[in-house]
Amino acid sequence: MEAAPNERDMRLSWMTQPEGRAVVALDEEGLVLGTANMYPNRPNQGSHVASGSFMVGAPARGQGVGRALVRDMIDWTVERGFLGIQFNAVVASNDRAVRLYESEGFRIVGAAPGGFLHPTLGPVDLLILWRDLP
């Protein structure tokens, strides 16, 4: 297992620059509830497909923050003319996330068997999810 990444590295890797985009979801007092980033999944002949990642803070779960971030991403990708969204590595044991994505039009198109070494569950599949746009 590698050491936990530090804040600087995390910030650099998460804060996608144009042509990608990073967003935060705030509550009415300006507290960060969650964040998302989004970007072309591949260069050149694969650049018509977007990808992205989501994080919702533990205290904010179950309040629709993730769904709001996913919908915001879909809107952005449609606006930008992407033809599909691909999530490359959704941890299969994260039922909540998988159900959320499915309810927003994504479907499972593949799985890397045991692609994620879960700290308590052991090897868990990493799912590949796809959504046609719009």
Decide if residue 121 touches a copy of itself (CB under 8 A): no
Decide if residue 55 touches a copy of itself (CB under 8 A): no
Size of the site for a copy of itself (CB under 8 A): 32
Decide if residue 122 touches a copy of itself (CB under 8 A): no
Contact with a copy of itself (CB under 8 A): which of 20, 64, 84, 105?
A: 84
Contact with a copy of itself (CB under 8 A): which of 18, 59, 62, 113?
A: 113
Contacts of 128 (CB under 8 A, 6+ apart): 86, 87, 88, 89, 90, 108, 109, 110, 111, 112
Nearer to a copy of itself among residue 49 and residue 100 (C-beta): 49
Contact with a copy of itself (CB under 8 A): which of 31, 46, 57, 80?
A: 46
Decide if residue 130 touches a copy of itself (CB under 8 A): yes
Inter-residue contact 95 to 132 (CB < 8 Å): no
Residues lying near a copy of itself in the complex (CB under 8 A): 1-2, 5, 41-49, 83-84, 86, 88-89, 109-119, 126, 128, 130, 132
